[in-house]
């Protein structure tokens, strides 16, 4: 049977893993039921390289700020810049400011990395794109798309 030649890929965004996990499992079960020889792979859909770069820079800034606050260091004096009032406040309120920095910068990092992707492909041929369509396929749409692809590939 031709289906044993295919590799079925589902790309999803890792922060949405809990949201899309059930859909991924559901589609995987449909494939295993109808085409047991198809290999199913779930992977993270990559964000743009510029957004990834900004997220990494933000992560480094977050770690530096947290370390400086916890060690009572003033990074602005090393840069020969006057210390902003918010940083002086943060030095006096370490627990609150560290939690605030950690959660706020994590949310910005997550926002930068969000793609909302749930992309389905077979042998690098796209079958469905949530980015393009704005939605996930229904079970029937998914099976019909898969059957159409396999039928066209065998001709």
pLDDT 10s digits, 81-114: 999 999 999 999 999 999 999 999 999 998 888 8
The encoded tokens of residue 111 equal: 């926002």
- The model carries a pTM of 0.66
96 in a domain, yes or no?
yes
pLDDT in tens, 34-90: 888 788 887 777 888 999 999 999 999 999 999 999 999 999 998 899 999 999 999
In a domain, 99, yes or no: yes
- Report yes or no on 86 lying in a domain: yes
Secondary structure (3-state) at 126: strand
Same domain (yes/no): 103, 122: no
> What is the domain range of residue 138?
9-45+116-154
Q: Is the pLDDT of residue 12 over 90?
A: no
56 with 91, same domain?
yes
Instruction: Read off φ and ψ for residue 71, nearest 5 degrees.
Output: -100, 10
Establish if 60 belongs to a structural domain: yes
In a domain, 4, yes or no: no
**Count of the separate structural domains present in the chain:** 2
CB 151 within 8 A of CB 35: no
Regarding whether 70 and 107 lie in a shared domain, the answer is yes
């Amino acid at each position: 049977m031709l289906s044993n030649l295919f590799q079925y890929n589902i790309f999803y965004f890792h922060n949405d893993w809990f949201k899309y996990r059930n859909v991924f499992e559901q589609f995987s079960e449909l494939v295993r039921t109808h085409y047991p020889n198809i290999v199913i792979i779930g992977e993270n859909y990559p964000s743009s390289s510029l957004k990834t770069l900004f997220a990494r820079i933000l992560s480094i800034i977050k770690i530096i700020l947290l370390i400086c606050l916890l060690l009572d260091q003033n990074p602005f004096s090393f840069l020969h810049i006057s210390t902003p009032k918010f940083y002086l406040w943060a030095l006096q309120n370490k627990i609150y400011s560290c939690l605030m920095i950690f959660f706020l910068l994590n949310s910005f990092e997550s926002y930068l990395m969000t793609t909302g992707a749930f992309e389905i492909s077979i042998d690098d041929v796209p079958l469905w794109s949530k980015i393009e369509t704005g939605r996930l396929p229904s079970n029937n749409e998914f099976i019909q798309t898969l059957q159409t692809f396999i039928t066209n590939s065998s001709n």
